[in-house]
Amino acid sequence: MTSFPLRRKLAVVPFLLLPLGALAACGGENSKTDCNVNSCTVTFDRGVDASASILGVKAELVKVQGQMVTLKVGGQTVTVPAGGDGEQAEGFDVSVQSVTKDQVVVRISANG
């Protein structure tokens, strides 16, 4: 009879670790990510190939022209103005928070 409570406790462990796994799944190349359950802020380095794996999709910085940023999110390419209204791509809301000569800061969140 003592094995039943132990099995119940062991069954709960994966659910407790799930949020940690979701956060650990964020990462990239020439980028920094700050994620929670349904959104990520990604800081892309400019002048290099920069990408991040976030929320189950790959986000890539394609190009920056002035304050217009072109990104590829999960296979869909979108151009988003810095500080303006965001765009939608692959079921995500994509907005550009800032553009500097060194970095581009983007917020990607699950819509709905």
pTM of the model: 0.76
Distances (CA, A) of 112 to 24, 75, 84, 104, 109: 23, 20, 20, 25, 9
pLDDT (tens digit per residue) in 60-95:
999 999 999 999 999 999 999 999 889 999 999 999
Each residue of 37-59: pLDDT tens digit?
Answer: 899 999 999 999 999 999 999 99
pLDDT, average across residues 10-25: 43
Q: How far is CA 59 from the centre of its chain?
A: 7
- How far is the C-alpha of 36 from the C-alpha of 61, rounded, in Å? 21
| Residue 40 DSSP SS3 | strand
Alpha-helical runs (H) found in the chain: 3-24
